[in-house]
Amino acid sequence: MKKINVFEKLSLFRDYWDPKIVGELNEQYVKLAKFKGEFVWHTHENEDEMFFVLNGELIMEFRDHKTKLQENEFIVVPRGTEHRPVAKKEVAVMLIEPKSTINTGDKEGNMTLNNLDII
């Protein structure tokens, strides 16, 4: 058991849309990521995802609405729900999701990451 300083870990990387694994529990990864710009529309058929905003502002777009998240707010995107994270300015996010989760879900492309770094 060791404590993790989230902001210390965030200072170790600069890349956007490249989550880093910082812990795991019950077959779930705890990840930190920085977002800026628009991600791809995608769906996770078998996994729910939790996005917790650490700093900045995140807009989670769904086909029929948008949800704006501020610091210290989170959203759980249920499996099977098409969504797209958008950040007009840099935002730091903690993700909690099953180990099997691929960042782009059903939309494999140039933003797909299959092997994440552990920091």
- Give the domains, in start order, of the chain with CATH numbers: 6-98 (2.60.120.10)
Give per-residue pLDDT as tens, 94-107.
Answer: 999 999 898 888 88
| Residue 78, CA distances (Å) to 5, 37, 66, 81, 104 in order | 28, 23, 15, 6, 15
Give per-residue pLDDT as tens, 18-30.
Answer: 999 999 999 999 9
Number of alpha carbons in the 13 Å side-chain half-sphere of residue 6: 14
pTM of the model: 0.90
Residue 76: closest CA among 60, 54, 100: 60
